[in-house]
C-alpha cells in the first residue's frame, strides 16, 4: 500500500507548488520565481512525506481494518502521533532553513510566504479600521 502514502506526499507537494504559482504576487517574490517554486516543492514534499508515511499509516493502524495484519498494535502505533505532530510544527516553523543544499530555495519560499502574510494582515487591519471608523495609520 505504498502507493497511497506516495500519492499523499505528491499531492501535498503539488498543492504547495500550486499555491506558490497562484497566491504570490510579484511584490512577494524577491528572488527568482523558480527559486520560490522549488522551495515550495521541497517544503511540500517534506510535509507530504511526513503526513503520507507517518500520519496515514497511523490512521490505518488505529482504524479497524479487517485483513490488514501488522506486528505493531494500534496502541503502540499511536505513540508516533506526538513526535510526528512536533516534526510538522518544526518544519512549518522553519527547521529546514539551515539545510546546506536546499536552504536558498526554502528561504525564498519562506520570505515570499511571510511577505504575503504581512500584506494580508495589513489589508485585514485596514478593513477593520474602516469598519471602526479610524483613520489609517501614517
pLDDT (tens digit, 0 to 9) for every residue of the chain, 138 residues total? 678 888 999 999 999 999 999 999 988 888 789 999 999 999 999 999 888 888 887 777 666 555 555 565 655 656 667 787 888 888 777 777 888 888 889 889 989 999 999 999 999 999 998 888 877 554
Q: What residue spans define the domains of the chain? A: 2-132
Contact 99, 46 (CB under 8 A): no
pLDDT of residue 51: 87
User: String of b and e for 45-63 (b: at least 16 CB within 10 Å)?
Assistant: bbbbbbbbbbbbbbebbee
Contact (CB, 8 A) for 93 and 42? no
pLDDT at 18: 96
pTM: 0.75
Whole-angstrom distance, CA of residue 12 vs CA of residue 47 = 7
pLDDT, residue 134, reads 78
Residue of 134, 132, 54, 129 lying closest to 91 (CA atoms): 54
Q: How many CA atoms within 13 Å lie on the side-chain side of 118?
A: 9
Q: For 21-42, give one letter per residue: b (16+ CB within 10 A) or e.
A: eeebeeebbeeeeebbbbbbbb
Whole-number Å distance between alpha carbons of 60 and 20: 31
Amino acid at each position: 500500500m505504498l502507493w497511497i502514502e506516495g500519492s499523499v506526499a505528491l499531492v501535498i507537494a503539488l498543492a504547495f507548488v500550486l499555491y506558490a504559482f497562484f497566491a504570490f504576487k510579484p511584490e512577494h517574490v524577491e528572488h527568482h520565481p523558480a527559486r520560490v517554486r522549488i522551495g515550495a516543492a521541497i517544503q511540500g514534499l517534506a510535509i507530504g512525506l511526513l503526513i503520507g508515511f507517518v500520519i496515514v499509516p497511523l490512521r490505518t493502524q488505529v482504524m479497524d481494518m479487517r485483513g490488514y495484519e501488522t506486528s505493531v498494535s494500534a496502541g503502540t502505533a499511536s505513540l508516533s502521533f506526538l513526535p510526528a505532530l512536533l516534526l510538522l510544527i518544526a518544519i512549518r516553523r522553519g527547521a529546514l532553513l539551515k539545510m546546506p543544499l536546499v536552504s536558498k530555495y526554502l528561504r525564498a519560499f519562506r520570505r515570499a510566504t511571510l511577505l504575503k502574510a504581512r500584506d494580508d494582515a495589513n489589508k485585514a487591519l485596514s478593513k477593520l479600521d474602516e469598519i471602526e471608523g479610524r483613520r489609517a495609520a501614517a
